[in-house]
């Protein structure tokens, strides 16, 4: 049996269903992200693991123990909140040691553990500081140390980076991953930021409207999205409408587009051909073509984003920047192309 098991979890509020049919088995030491837009039930699910919400039905088992109805203070989970939630009346050291003090650990043990954790989060000298004297990023590190101090069986993080500046966010993201690997602690991470989820996780759970859309490693989620929602929520995506001709061809506005993923839809059905912008290239070098006029060219540094229009349809091509790249101008007639193995077909 996996280390943390959520079995057919369902959560209903007064007049809505927040989560349904949630089934997940997390292995010990695994880093799993819940990814989805706000209101998709990811935070509610996390709060059920923490014990702040009770599932309407289903079971939660942690390390072989059924904790479905256990009180939050009787679960041995560490929680990090979006708003840091450090106790303002306590020093950093007291914050980190709070959980151990409640467990009646000896003073020496607490002090040693607190120092160990402050070193882990690279704030060894801040033990006597008060939370209001620290920056947001530092406060969130302390919150992480506080959650880890009690040696929880599972670490829960609820959008821990969304209150921080972009730069601090990247830095702390790497810190979280480093610490998680170092301690080998089972971690559930809730976020609406796909980049965060991709960069951190062993597996990502994509959620929408209380339902799990897809569970898998980031590579699989991104390259082989199982549902239309996942395809459009994770990463950017071109959708070219057309009708099915045969198992590997779609007729689209004068062009024949071929895919090497067998088409499941019936011949004549309306479908969309899906392809990621980075698979598109300028010129007619690849099998599938799309010709039109350049509507915009955005220079983003590492990539250049070119939007090509033809009538009502438009596609975006992300080109890798290089010094020899010849940028098209707005209004130019261009052809972009992509290989058959890069695209797949979904029902319109």
Q: Where on the chain is the footprint of another protein (CB under 8 A)? A: 50-52, 71-75, 77-79, 81, 83, 85-89, 91, 98-99, 102-103, 128, 130, 132, 143, 146-147, 150, 156
C-alpha dihedral, 214 to 219 to 220 to 221, nearest 10°: 30
Nearer to another protein, 153 or 194 (CB): 153
Minimum CB–partner distance for residue 136 and another protein (Å): 14
Angle, helix 92-102 to helix 107-120, in steps of 10 degrees: 130
Per residue in 316-326, is it b (16+ CB within 10 Å) or e — as a string? Answer: bbbbeeeeeee
Nearer to another protein, 46 or 205 (CB): 46
Q: How far apart are CA 275 and CA 293, in angstroms?
A: 19
Nearer to another protein, 79 or 336 (CB): 79
Tokens of 165: 């500046």
Q: How far apart are CA 255 and CA 245, in angstroms?
A: 12
2: left (phi over 0), alpha (psi -120 to 50) or beta: beta
Residue (of 111, 85, 89) closest to 100 by Cα position: 111
Nearer to another protein, 102 or 333 (CB): 102
Nearer to another protein, 26 or 319 (CB): 26
Specify whether the CB–CB gap between 203 and 187 falls below 8 A.
Answer: no
Minimum CB–partner distance for residue 253 and another protein (Å): 53
């Amino acid at each position: 049996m996996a280390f943390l098991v959520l079995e057919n979890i369902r959560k209903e509020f007064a007049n809505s269903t927040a989560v349904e049919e949630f089934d997940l088995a997390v292995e010990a030491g695994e880093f799993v992200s819940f990814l989805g837009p706000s209101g998709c039930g990811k935070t509610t699910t996390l709060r059920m693991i923490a014990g702040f919400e009770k599932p309407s039905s289903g079971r939660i088992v942690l390390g072989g123990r059924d904790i479905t109805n256990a009180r939050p203070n009787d679960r041995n989970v560490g929680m990090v909140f979006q708003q840091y939630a450090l106790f303002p009346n306590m020093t950093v050291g007291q914050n980190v040691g709070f959980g151990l003090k409640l467990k009646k650990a000896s003073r020496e043990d607490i002090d040693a553990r607190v120092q160990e954790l402050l070193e882990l989060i690279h704030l060894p000298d801040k033990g006597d500081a008060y939370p209001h004297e620290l920056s947001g990023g530092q406060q969130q590190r302390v919150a992480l140390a506080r959650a880890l101090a009690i040696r929880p069986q599972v670490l829960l993080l609820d959008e821990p980076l969304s209150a921080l500046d972009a730069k601090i966010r990247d830095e702390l993201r790497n810190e979280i991953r480093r610490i998680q690997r170092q301690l080998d602690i089972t971690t559930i991470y809730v976020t609406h930021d796909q980049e965060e989820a991709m960069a951190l996780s062993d597996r990502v759970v994509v959620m929408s409207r209380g339902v799990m859309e897809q569970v898998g490693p980031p590579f699989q989620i991104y390259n082989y999205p199982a549902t239309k929602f996942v395809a459009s929520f994770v990463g950017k995506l071109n959708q070219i409408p057309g009708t099915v001709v045969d198992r590997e061809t779609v007729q689209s506005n004068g062009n024949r587009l071929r895919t090497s993923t067998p088409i499941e839809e019936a011949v004549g059905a309306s479908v969309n051909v899906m392809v990621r912008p980075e698979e598109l290239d300028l010129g007619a070098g690849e099998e599938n073509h799309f010709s039109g006029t350049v509507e915009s060219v955005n220079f983003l540094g590492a990539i250049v984003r070119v939007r090509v229009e033809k009538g009502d349809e438009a596609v975006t091509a992300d080109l890798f920047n290089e010094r020899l790249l010849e940028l098209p101008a707005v209004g130019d007639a261009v052809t972009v192309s992509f290989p058959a193995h890069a695209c797949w077909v979904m029902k319109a």
